[in-house]
């Protein structure tokens, strides 16, 4: 039998390696920028055309390479940073595997110019698909310039998997931001299609944060620092009032290497506990420095995930550092140890507006006040005192009676009858028939089967809708009772409304009296440009108004006129993080995100009878009234037999 195992050709092995290293143009940007930083450059320029598909070029003024090193840098596993096994456990540089240039050259056309400072001439290398086409001396400035052209030109299947220019540019901006933030001592510039996007001079970290993320952070930065023998934490956090609906502006760097860590993010959120508005995320740029032997960075191809030797200690120190910074800058509540609790005024207890309506101690305000007045004995002439064994309730006052009538009317009950004082039998009979939870002569379950669709039952005459805790609606139906979640119902209504508007491309818009400008981070602005077409179809009207800024002229007709920045930031965050088991079309994803955002932002205010009825009618006018777009239930139907079972004896 012939041998079947053989070595792969060099070009094929390089293309396989490129599959791990080069996933998209942003991967090339990351590797080239990190090489420039490792070369001790003080100025780095990034040039991008067609979101990196046509050109990614990085020019630096670093150490440069000799002709031999320039040729060796294109070989697989060729590096200047690893000599022995021990070196793997004390890595402080960014690139160390020696795969980047070899993998990039395998799937692109590369032009490499490099010159050392003490040399008169430099070296020019032209590479296509791992093959060195030419090498010759050339006049060039000190440092290195690497131009990567026509990425995946020889792997068309990989090129077809690239996303739109807006998506790819967003990933490039992410990588540029990570490297620029971690190296404020280096000047960076970014050009996209010959237009300058960033020009960042060397300076302090705070200056770099403001230059990258916008002037809005100038007054919102709070220094954070904690140094221990095990680890040091330095950087900046944002004040609680600067928290955003989007979570993009959160950065962790370990030994100057950007990482992603949900575990450490939880430590920061724990320090902000009780200080952030609902569904908002704080800003932070934190640098962790610790012994390289205490971490393992070689656990993921992109090196954005690492392992800590002692995760719990790192978590505790990060949380303590952030909490201390919040306290120092008077952003966290503190205890007043100077006040004397013995002389503190005692405040009367008040029922919480969110009290549990099903608790034993819960009494609505109207019922509580009316019951208190009804229970208070009225002064009578010739009273026999308190010597009798049982005192019957006295006749309610007119005001208490009116309050009881109003309360029971709100529950759809009959008016409270006029009770004669001292008639125990009448009082007992009244208590039985007037209680909203007692069913007299219950209907058998088999007779309670719905004869009409739920929509017709719920909107029938006399079926009054009741609101509970400003979150749920109770709708009597012939078969029993229906409980509707207001937020989920609104989400279903908004979803179908905007899905139809998007399909017709004719969403109605309400024009603002004055256009309002909104500035985004470069990443969020790239997402906004990506979905600007569908947003316009839904009813948003805006135009670009400078770098990363838009002027909002109109919003969808049914959207409450509120802060446009908060609405768009929340929509971008929903769009960015809307991940599920099924990959959704961009337009479908946008409609779902907008429906969820508007339903969540709707105030849980007390609704009038007309508003509650309209909400129920609009829900049952939907094609799928029972579920939200992501499958959560909007309503629950309780049969009469189920209600009866709740009150049967065990």
Q: Which structural domains are found in the chain, ordered by start?
A: 10-200 (3.30.565.10), 205-328 (3.30.230.10), 395-435 (no CATH)
DSSP 523: H
DSSP 631: S
Asked if 61 contacts 141 with a C-beta cutoff of 8 angstroms, the reply is yes
3-state secondary structure of 456: helix
Tell me if the pTM is above 0.85.
Answer: no
Asked if 322 contacts 271 with a C-beta cutoff of 8 angstroms, the reply is yes
Query: 647 falls in which pLDDT band (50, 70, 90)?
Result: confident
With 70 as the cut, is the pLDDT of residue 43 above it? yes
Average pLDDT over residues 286-291: 92
Query: 405 falls in which pLDDT band (50, 70, 90)?
Result: low
Asked if 246 contacts 570 with a C-beta cutoff of 8 angstroms, the reply is yes
Predicted local distance difference test score (pLDDT) of residue 251: 93
Contacts of 204 (CB under 8 A, 6+ apart): 184
Average pLDDT over residues 158-178: 87
Query: 293 falls in which pLDDT band (50, 70, 90)?
Result: confident
Query: 53 falls in which pLDDT band (50, 70, 90)?
Result: very high
Query: 246 falls in which pLDDT band (50, 70, 90)?
Result: confident
Asked if 304 contacts 258 with a C-beta cutoff of 8 angstroms, the reply is yes
CB atoms < 10 A from the CB of 131, how many?
11
Least confident of 38-47, 80-89, 256-265, 415-424: 415-424
b/e code 358-373 from CB counts within 10 Å (16+ = b)? eeeeebeeebebbbeb
Beta bridge partners of 176: none
3-state secondary structure of 527: helix
**C-alpha to C-alpha distance for 194 and 403, rounded to whole angstroms:** 74
Give the N- to C-terminal CA distance of the chain in Å, as an integer: 79
Strands, DSSP E only, in 280-338?
284-290, 295-296, 307-308
With 70 as the cut, is the pLDDT of residue 431 above it? no
Which is higher by pLDDT, 450 or 327?
A: 327
**C-alpha to C-alpha distance for 485 and 456, rounded to whole angstroms:** 19
- Radius of gyration in angstroms for the set of CA atoms belonging to the chain, rounded to a whole number: 34
Predicted local distance difference test score (pLDDT) of residue 411: 46
Least confident of 76-90, 279-293, 509-523: 76-90
Token pair 């009207």: residue: 541
* Range picked from 280-284, 376-380, 382-386 for highest mean pLDDT: 280-284
Predicted local distance difference test score (pLDDT) of residue 333: 56
With 60 as the cut, is the pLDDT of residue 17 above it? yes
Asked if 480 contacts 639 with a C-beta cutoff of 8 angstroms, the reply is yes
Predicted local distance difference test score (pLDDT) of residue 390: 42
Which is higher by pLDDT, 588 or 58?
A: 58
**C-alpha to C-alpha distance for 264 and 266, rounded to whole angstroms:** 5
Query: 101 falls in which pLDDT band (50, 70, 90)?
Result: confident
CA angle 104, 107, 111 (to 5 degrees): 60
With 70 as the cut, is the pLDDT of residue 283 above it? yes
Count of helix runs (H) and strand runs (E) in the chain: 20, 22
What mean pLDDT value characterizes the chain?
76
Contacts of 573 (CB under 8 A, 6+ apart): 244, 245, 246, 247, 248
Pure H helices in 73-148: 100-106
Predicted local distance difference test score (pLDDT) of residue 138: 93
Phi, psi dihedral angles at 634 (to 5 degrees)? -95, -20
With 90 as the cut, is the pLDDT of residue 109 above it? yes
With 70 as the cut, is the pLDDT of residue 271 above it? yes
Predicted local distance difference test score (pLDDT) of residue 540: 84
3-state secondary structure of 280: coil
Q: In the structure encoding, which two tokens stand for residue 203, read together?
A: 């300076």
Compute the half-sphere exposure of residue 434: CA atoms within 13 Å on the CB side of its CA: 18
With 70 as the cut, is the pLDDT of residue 459 above it? no
Asked if 55 contacts 148 with a C-beta cutoff of 8 angstroms, the reply is yes
């Amino acid at each position: 039998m012939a041998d079947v195992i053989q070595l792969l050709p060099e070009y094929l092995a390089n293309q396989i390696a490129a599959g791990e290293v080069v996933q998209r143009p942003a991967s090339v940007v990351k590797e080239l920028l990190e090489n420039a930083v490792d070369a001790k450059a003080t100025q780095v320029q990034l040039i991008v055309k067609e979101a990196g598909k046509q050109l990614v070029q990085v020019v630096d003024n670093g150490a440069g390479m000799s002709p031999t090193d320039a040729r060796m840098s294109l070989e697989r596993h060729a590096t200047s940073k690893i000599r022995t096994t021990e070196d793997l456990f004390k890595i402080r540089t960014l690139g160390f595997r020696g795969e980047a240039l070899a993998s990039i050259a395998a799937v692109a056309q590369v032009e490499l110019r490099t010159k050392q400072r003490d040399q008169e001439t430099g070296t020019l290398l032209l590479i296509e698909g791992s093959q060195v086409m030419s090498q010759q001396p050339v006049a060039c400035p000190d440092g290195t310039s690497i131009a990567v052209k026509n990425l995946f030109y020889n792997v068309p299947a990989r090129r077809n998997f690239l996303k739109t220019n807006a998506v790819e540019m967003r990933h490039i901006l992410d990588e540029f931001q990570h490297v620029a933030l971690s190296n404020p001592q280096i000047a960076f510039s970014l050009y996209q299609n010959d237009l300058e996007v960033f020009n960042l001079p060397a300076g302090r970290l705070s200056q770099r944060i403001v230059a990258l993320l916008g002037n809005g952070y100038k007054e919102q930065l709070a220094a954070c620092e904690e140094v221990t023998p095990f680890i040091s934490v330095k950087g900046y956090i944002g004040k609680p009032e600067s928290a955003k609906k989007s979570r993009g502006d959160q950065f962790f760097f370990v030994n100057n290497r950007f990482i992603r860590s949900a575990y450490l993010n939880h430590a920061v959120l724990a320090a902000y506990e009780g200080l952030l508005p609902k569904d908002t995320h704080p800003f932070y740029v934190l640098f962790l420095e610790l012994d390289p032997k205490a971490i393992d960075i070689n656990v993921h191809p992109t090196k954005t995930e690492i392992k800590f030797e002692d995760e719990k200690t790192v978590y505790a120190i990060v949380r303590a550092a952030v909490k201390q910074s919040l306290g120092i800058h008077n952003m966290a509540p503190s205890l007043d140890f100077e006040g004397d609790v013995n002389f503190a005024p005692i405040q009367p207890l008040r029922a919480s507006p969110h009290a549990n309506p099903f608790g034993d101690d819960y009494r609505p305000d109207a019922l509580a006040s009316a019951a208190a007045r009804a229970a208070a004995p009225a002064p009578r002439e010739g009273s026999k005192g308190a010597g009798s064994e049982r005192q019957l309730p006295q006749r309610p006052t007119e005001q208490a009676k009116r309050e009881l009538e109003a309360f029971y009317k709100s529950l759809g009950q009959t008016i409270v009858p006029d009770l004669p004082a001292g008639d125990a039998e009448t009082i007992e009979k009244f208590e039985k028939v007037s209680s909203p939870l007692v069913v007299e002569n219950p209907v058998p379950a088999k007779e309670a089967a719905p004869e009409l669709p739920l929509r017709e039952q719920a909107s029938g005459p006399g079926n009054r809708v009741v609101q509970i805790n400003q979150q749920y609606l109770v709708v009597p139906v012939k078969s029993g009772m229906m409980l509707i979640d207001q937020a989920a119902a609104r989400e279903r209504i908004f979803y179908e409304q905007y899905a139809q508007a998007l399909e017709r491309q004719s969403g109605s818009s309400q024009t603002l009296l004055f256009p309002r400008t909104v500035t985004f981070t470069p990443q969020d602005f790239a997402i906004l440009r990506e979905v600007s077409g569908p947003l316009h179809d839904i009813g948003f009207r805006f135009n670009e108004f400078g770098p990363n800024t838009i002027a909002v002229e109109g919003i969808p007709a049914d959207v409450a006129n509120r802060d446009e920045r908060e609405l768009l930031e929340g929509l971008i965050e929903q769009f960015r993080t809307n991940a599920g088991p099924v990959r959704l079309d961009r337009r479908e994803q946008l409609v779902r995100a907008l429906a969820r955002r508007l339903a969540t932002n709707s105030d849980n205010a007390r609704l009038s009878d007309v508003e509650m009825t309209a909400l129920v009618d609009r829900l049952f006018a939907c094609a799928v009234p029972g579920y939200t777009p992501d499958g959560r239930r909007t309503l629950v139907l309780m049969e009469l037999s189920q209600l009866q079972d709740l009150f049967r004896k065990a």
